[in-house]
Amino acid sequence: MTEPLILPASEQLELISLAKRLLGDQLRSITPLLEDTDVLEIMINGHNNIFVEKNGRIEKSNLVLPEGSLIAAIKLIAKQNRKEVRENGRISEHLILDAELPGLRIAAALPPISYFGPVMAIRKHGRHVRTLDDYVNDGSFNPSYEDTGEILTARPADHLVSQGGIHLKNSLEWMRDTHQNIVISGATSSGKTTFLNAYLQGLSPYERILTIEDTKELQIKVPNWVALVSNQALGVDTHLLLRLCLRMRPDRIVVGEVRGAEACDLMDALSTGHSGGAVSLHAENAHSALSRLENMMRKSPDMRNTPIEVIREQIAQTINFVVHASRRGGKRAPEEVIEILGCEHGKYITKTLFKKQRIST
């Protein structure tokens, strides 16, 4: 994640004051957040659904914007940046905003791209240059830290996972809770989305989740969730939405389905501070899912001449597990789970943790 520009406290407050004047009445309700020097990021998921990152933690704000003021603010910010946005616009430039105001970096999206309504993320420039003494004084160098709600459990033994049942459930929950990156593969109608929904149900309420889908299907029970929907007719594809995600302070990024060169952008996102991601793709089995990922990455102009060994190394360093779903036995459910342990001499090193066996009758 890009570090905020560091400014002296007095200069930051002066710029914030100018930004407030430029915004006029539209965001007056969140003035206390703009003025609070401990708040680094303001995440507006709706006029009455606002979160902030304060002193390194995300917390819900009790402030509320008047209905209609968020879209008005987005339009005003666009105008200040010599851009134009429109509700239900016909091209991507009218639906996604990347802009700046004095002391602020702003990313926003409008319906139908933002499924639940207009959303905005405001990142403030840092208030001062930190010193090593600051790390000592605020406890950042302490050998332990206060529990913030993350669920850290011991990894279930592999020999138990192979037995399935509650042991497989425990293993999947461990993957989710320890921010492992997973690929969910399978054929059409194999239950990929149904399983992904189930997998995401136990997410920590302290996390900010951004999802990207072609059609809105996921149902995630966390308060800080932004659902983005691609729209090819409007020129808004997964590649564009991944770039938007990175500007909206995600803890996790979930992609309903990856099909092409955007796989390269996703791999970069998952390997640069946004672990715990999940993505689904079409494949015949867990191992062929890795080959499919390779082929999609090769579609990116930046990767066309990259040796396959290098691509496989990147995949092995980024993706931790593959869960393959199928319809065998009359049930749509995971059939195979493999762990990617690494890559040597251009070949993946994997371990099968779970695999259903056919029983002859």
**Per-residue pLDDT at 5:** 47
Q: Among candidates 111, 104, 92, 291, which has minimal Cα distance to 185?
A: 291
> Phi, psi (5° rounding) for residue 95?
-115, -20
Q: CA 70 to CA 64: how far, in whole Å? A: 10
Q: Are 185 and 202 in contact (CB under 8 A)?
A: no
Q: Among candidates 214, 205, 208, 220, which has minimal Cα distance to 246?
A: 208
Domain with CATH 3.30.450.90 in the chain: 9-124
Q: Are 262 and 162 in contact (CB under 8 A)?
A: no
Mean pLDDT per 10-residue section of the chain, whose length is 361 residues: 48 57 74 88 95 91 91 87 80 85 88 94 76 79 64 78 91 96 94 93 94 94 95 90 94 94 92 92 95 94 92 96 88 93 95 85 57
Beta strands in the chain (DSSP E): 39-44, 50-54, 57-60, 96-101, 104-109, 119-124, 182-186, 209-213, 225-229, 252-255, 278-282, 321-326, 333-344, 347-355
Q: Among candidates 131, 153, 123, which has minimal Cα distance to 40?
A: 123
Q: CA 306 to CA 325: how far, in whole Å? A: 30
Q: Are 64 and 48 in contact (CB under 8 A)?
A: yes
Q: Are 191 and 327 in contact (CB under 8 A)?
A: yes
Which residue shows structure tokens 């993706």? 319
| CATH class of the domain comprising 158-355 | alpha beta
Distances (CA, A) of 43 to 9, 47, 329: 22, 11, 45
* DSSP string covering 182-215: EEEEE-TTSSHHHHHHHHGGG--TTS-EEEEESS
How far is residue 301 CA from its own chain's centroid?
Answer: 24
Domain with CATH 3.40.50.300 in the chain: 158-355
Fold type of domain 9-124: Beta-Lactamase (3.30.450)
By three-state DSSP, how is residue 341 classified?
Answer: strand
Which residues lie across from 334 on neighbouring strands?
Answer: 325
**Per-residue pLDDT at 133:** 82
> Phi, psi (5° rounding) for residue 17?
-60, -40
**Per-residue pLDDT at 114:** 94
**Per-residue pLDDT at 9:** 53
Considering the entire predicted model, what is its pTM?
0.86
Q: CA 245 to CA 197: how far, in whole Å? A: 20
